[in-house]
Structure 1
Amino acid sequence: MRMRWEPFLEAVRERGEYPTRQEAERAARVVLALLGAHLVGDVRVELAARLPETFELILLNPLQAAEPLDPQRFVRATAAWIEGATEETALWDVGAVLSVVADAAGEDLMRGALLQLPPGYDLLFGRPRAD
């Protein structure tokens, strides 16, 4: 089921403790554009279909990644795309956005997404593996 715009952004705003919805939206746009470059096929399409339409399009038309970024490089790339961000604030941005994405995705879809990503992304999504 598709998450609506307002609840999605409000959840990102709360988790990221952003003072404005615009800051939450900026973080979501950057993180989802980077995430979309790492997912392929049905997993990307199904995940996109659960997000608000604007974010669905961002996930489906991602920035192109030459190679999968490990979690640390993903955070660094996020910092590079958000004006004034540091690696610490970018880690916060990534966690705020991806934890809401994980909630929208549900357990089965998240398992499929994590299989496509380098090890360590489970922590970025706030879903540490118990293995």
Structure 2
Amino acid sequence: MAMRWEAFLTAVQDRGAYREPHEAERASRVVLALLGAHLVGTVRAELAARLPETFALILLNPLQSVEPLNAERFVRATAAWIDGATEATALWDVGAVLSVVADVAGPDLTNQVLTQLPADWPPLFGRPDHTDDGTLP
């Protein structure tokens, strides 16, 4: 079952310590649009099914990426899409959104998502000790 819009935004707002809901919404829109370009097939569809409808559509109709971005380049791309963002604030935005996405997805789907991403992405999801099989090293 998909998470409700308000619950998702409240979780992102809390994680990101944003003063206003629109800041959480802006970060969510950009991060999910960029993430969607890195996911394919049933994994992307399953993740979208757990997100609020608006964010699901953003994930399913992503900003195009020529190649998979490593974590550092993903953060840079996020900064480029958010007015006034720096790499440091974009890293904060990415962490706030993707940690909520990981919670919504649950451990099994999060592990499937991470297998489609470059190896340095787990910390962006709040999973610093992740391995390909989902176990701790």
What is the TM-score of this pair, normalised by structure 2?
0.94
CA RMSD of aligned residues (A): 0.5
Where does 1:24-35 land on structure 2 (aligned, <5 Å)? 24-35=24-35
Alignment of 1:39-78 (within 5 A): 39-78=39-78
**Deviation string for 1:64-114 (max 9, x for gaps)?**
110000000000000000000000000000000000000000011011100
% identity of equivalent residues? 73
Partner of 1:89: 89
| Alignment partner, residue 37 of structure 1 | 37
Q: How far, CA to CA, are the matches of 1:113 and 1:91 in structure 2?
A: 19
Letter of the 2:64 counterpart: Q
Amino acid at match of 1:55: F
Supply the distance in 1 between the matched residues of 2:102 and 2:3 (Cα, whole angstroms): 12
For residues 3 and 126 of structure 1, what CA distance do their matches in structure 2 show?
A: 19
State the one-letter code of the partner of 2:85: A
| Partner in structure 1 of residue 119 of structure 2 | 119
Residue aligned with 2:119, SS: coil
User: 1:7 aligns to what?
Assistant: 7
Q: How many aligned positions are there?
A: 131
CA–CA distance in structure 2, aligned partners of residues 109 and 28 of structure 1: 19
Residue ranges of structure 2 left out of the alignment (5+ in a row)? 131-135
Question: Normalising by structure 1, what TM-score?
Answer: 0.99
Show structure 1 runs of 4+ deviating over 6 A. Answer: none
- Runs of 5+ consecutive residues of structure 1 not aligned to the other structure: none
Deviation at 1:49, TM superposition (A): 0.4
